[in-house]
Amino acid sequence: MIGRLNHVAIAVPDLDAAAALYRSALGASVSNPLPLPEHGVTVVFVALPNSKIELMSPLGAASPIKSFLDRNPGGGMHHLCFEVEDILAARDTLLAQGARMIGTGTPQVGAHGLPVLFLHPKDFNGTLIELEECAKSSE
């Protein structure tokens, strides 16, 4: 069901400082900040040859990562994102197996403009999992 690792997300208290660190210390290519008000975060993506790192910080007081940063003030790994061919089929298969979704289970548009869902961390060894539908190729 799951395909390629799309990204590893790291919650950070200061997005500008984190992006600068990845640029200067690691020589990474870092995208411009992208505010995602519907998700309550601002993100940047660190480009890697085989995947990405998503650095994210809270956007607004109701941000879903605010409580994570309250518990981990220095930041830390927040979730893993895997690609799936068909997000609705993946959701239905997982629900039939007893997995829980975060939210309603209806896919939302993620940072890449593609449908995403989040799986409850208690069902996946304490790790929050994001599923993102692969971009359809135009052949």
Active site residues: 130
**CA 34 from centre of chain:** 13
The radius of gyration of the chain from alpha carbons, rounded to an integer in Å, stands at 15
Judge whether 47 and 31 are in contact, CB under 8 Å: yes
Strands of 12-121, DSSP E: 29-30, 34-36, 41-47, 52-58, 76-84, 108-109, 115-119
Query: Beta strand 115-119 with 108-109: parallel, antiparallel or unpaired?
Result: antiparallel
